[in-house]
Amino acid sequence: MTKGTPKKWQVLDDACFDRDQVEMVQAAINAPSPAQLEFWQEKHSVPLQLPVSNATVTKWRDDPLPWSSADFDHQALVGERVHQKQEFLTRYEIPK
């Protein structure tokens, strides 16, 4: 099982074009920004552990629940939601 590379969703190659050009093209076609793709690539670079079972696939595929760890911080979660909403509005709603 493989997840693929999130950077394949990027239209222009980083080696040939400037970051602003890549961001403008990605925004024009409503595709994820290069920063989002890099974040997803870091987040999902965990290899699958064998043997394949429901437990290992769940650990590999699913994000851990925030409240399942001892260092859960509700204010940080609220701040992250506000940041994501603001990023969405800046990227998609305001240009329209």
The token pair at 68 is 């399942």
Percent of the chain with pLDDT over 90: 1
pTM: 0.47
Exposed (0-12), middle (13-18) or buried (19+): which is 1, by Cβ within 10 Å? Answer: exposed
Q: What is the tally of structural domains in the chain?
A: 2
Place of tokens 């994820």: 32
Residues 76 and 56 in one domain: no
Q: What is the pLDDT confidence band of residue 6, given thresholds at 50, 70 and 90? A: low
Mean local confidence (pLDDT), 43-65: 77
Whether the bond into 34 is cis, omega within 30 of 0? no
> Which two three-digit tokens encode residue 43?
């987040």
- For residue 30, the model assigns a pLDDT of 80
Q: State the pLDDT at residue 75.
A: 79
Considering the domain architecture, whether residues 51 and 77 belong to the same structural domain is answered as no
Residues 11 and 35 in one domain: yes
Q: Which domain holds residue 92?
A: 65-96
The most distant pair of C-alpha atoms in the chain lies apart, rounded to whole Å, by: 48
Mean pLDDT throughout 27-44? 80
Statement to judge: residues 51 and 91 lie in one domain: no
> Are the C-beta atoms of residues 22 and 35 closer than 8 Å to each other?
no
